[in-house]
Chains A and B, each alone.
Chain A
């Protein structure tokens, strides 16, 4: 360990380069040379890259544990300098990374779960024929994702985080649309990308605001400058508001001009939350995550359950100092989290696609995490990220395993994921069954599985916490706020337990509803290709049967589904095991029995130390006493959900749901249509954008193309047609025009064309100046227009005379003679100063009086 510390000093911790570099190398090698490497080579490269990164992460974690430093930093290079408010200071942005107590845990989860899922995917994707050259492309993207995610969590400033943030968004897009030949998959990828962009806008605005109000973008700088965030900011009216003399009635104007002030912290926190809501699929931007299940199942497990979607929670934990300055923003986070949890859970109740159930469950659980961080229980929220990564990844991989087994008999993508076609799978898939059950227990919050501890802690703090505003003044959540969050959370937890066990019972119990199992057929093709024999069927039939309308025929004969190969079951087993034990990393309630199982709490303490000043316990609430009571309630609620699911789907075989659906058909349709949120967006936002795009298109077609381009070109072409007649190519013609022009110029120059100007020259004086010309000579009549001042031709071009008195004008005359002795006369009326009201400047083109 000491040798390692010497090799990697805390302020020059280049081990981060290894952790980051290996997945990047894997992505590069697989992406560029993947075709030549072959599948074996790609698998080796991808796995080696991620496992190597995982091992390096473990080393880094252990070093951090034994070190006295709270963080290790590594600066790759200096990127740019931003000037801060009014250009007074500079906020340097370095390409710098750091490992501290918060992101070291994330790093382990990303690389650890990532390794398991890479192993799983190496088998799952082995015989994929749906996208050409798919295998190396898939692993290039997956490695790139791990790299981007590591950049996201290890970056030591907001811009670096943003680079990773966009990187994971890109990988998410690429992997959702991995089977791009199917239009639905491609548009699901696009939807994810666009929904995320809305969130990214918030993040960018937050960055700009942070530069203005804290003068820094790195974590330490933001925390040090966070005092500047208390400053109030006027957000309405824009500019100076509606002016007094506008046509808008005074009442309306007064209303519109009402000043709205918030603190900068609220603004920054809400903008950050917009970004977090995009990435972590919260209201109103959650709609992309259920559609993201169009990607391959390992992708859903890694990106859309375990890692990327938790980036929003990580962001809030990381900038908890900013969020805590704004109780309103914290309340918004908590309420949005709760609403998302409830909405997604209610949709999950009626979904039939197993991956859709898990997707809505993910949205719901992410809502719980936001509820946790929104009430200031950062450790609890982060703990749920940690446990959720294991059990949800396990659930997704289990679902993938089941779907894979279903492909023996059903080759339609949607039909193979439909739980109505499953049932009784536990007979054939014992390992998948046990791990799925364990994870279901964990997510349902059954003691002593992982989800119990994390969810319980969130609900406990939701009940008891309150956020104290900075300096003790400002908006504060009312007393009923905590209990409301708690009751809502319990309702969501019941639904979670119900729909997860609904999925479990429908999939693994009862009779198999997919097809008629004929064991004689099962012998075909077995043991010929080793582990991947079951993919063989896909090869024959192809994965793309689903283009046609699938008609389910339960009487068709096919071989029995069977357990997945070891590459898929080992990750399941490891994740299932973690789903059981991960809760003990922060099982605070064991303190009542003298057991200190609060590793995570102690570990994260330095990170969230500042929260002590803002996060208090509500008066009259003893969290310590309530902990066991609430634990019992949570357990009971979980059991209740499971009990209902058991009653409905095991004892009554699903009959009560049909009755309910018939009695409340509109409610049922509303739920199965996902509250028609997509339709709402389609009708409002997307419709408006489409209309805007339409009018922009029309403008482009008629105004830009029609008037600006075609009309101008037609005018020029018309001139061309006319002028072309003059372009004879004959030298004489050109010479003739030249001679004519020469003659015209000669005619012009034989006559004088004088211009006379007058301008002020000091008090009471004006200067008259005549233009020069070929041999011009002048005779001035400045006193009397009829008689010249001197009766000789002179070369004096300008004279100075007395200005006319106020209210009077003066007339001057000038005679000009040119080299040909031809004469011209100019007369000018010098205006009075008062009439012109300013400076006296005028000119007159010479007219020939004679």
Chain B
């Protein structure tokens, strides 16, 4: 059996890739994908922890919830990206600063 630490390190790596990607990229579509990466990294930890607690399924159930929320988030997020594109002719996140100050 693969030890828990392996899963956790993998998840941490994926999460870091997602977080850094979210921070450094300016294309909203890429940023949404980075978001998915972070969510899935968390899913990996949830499922992995659950694997080591046989009598409890809360982690797996929670992972399903995360997937459902991620689907909803992707739908809403893409809709926002569409709206932004129509407004600005661009999907660059640093041009979406209407709420500043």
Contacts and interface: CB of A to CB of B under 8 A. Distances in A.
B93 A729 contact: no
A730 B97 contact: yes
A729 B98 contact: yes
Contacts of A731: 31, 93, 96
Contacts of A730: 93-94, 97, 100
A744 interface: no
Interface string B7-39: 000000000000100110010000100000000
A727 B93 contact: no
Contact of A736 (B23, B31, B94, B98): B23
B54 interface: no
B14 to A, nearest CB: 15
B23 to A, nearest CB: 6
Contact of B23 (A727, A728, A739): A739
13 contacts: A724-B101, A727-B99, A727-B100, A728-B100, A729-B97, A729-B100, A730-B93, A731-B31, A732-B26, A732-B94, A735-B23, A739-B19, A739-B23
Ranked 6 nearest A-B pairs via Cβ: A729-B100, A729-B97, A729-B99, A731-B93, A724-B101, A728-B100
Nearest to A728: B100
Contacts of B19: 739
B3 to A, nearest CB: 16
Nearest to A732: B23
Nearest to A736: B23
Contacts, number: 29
A735 B93 CA distance: 12
Interface in B59-98: 93-94, 96-98
A742 to B, nearest CB: 9
A733 to B, nearest CB: 10
Interface of B: 19, 22-23, 26, 31, 93-94, 96-101
B25 to A, nearest CB: 9
A579 to B, nearest CB: 85
Nearest to B31: A731
B7 to A, nearest CB: 16
Contact of B101 (A727, A732, A735, A736): A727
B53 to A, nearest CB: 13
Interface string A707-730: 000000000000000001001111
A739 B19 CA distance: 8
A776 to B, nearest CB: 18
Given A739-B19, A739-B23, A732 B100 contact: no
A471 B17 CA distance: 103
B46 to A, nearest CB: 16
A731 B99 CA distance: 10
Given A730-B100, A732-B26, A735-B22, 12 more contacts: A724-B101, A727-B100, A729-B97, A729-B99, A729-B100, A729-B101, A731-B31, A731-B96, A732-B23, A732-B93, A732-B94, A739-B23
A682 to B, nearest CB: 58
Contacts of B99: 727, 729
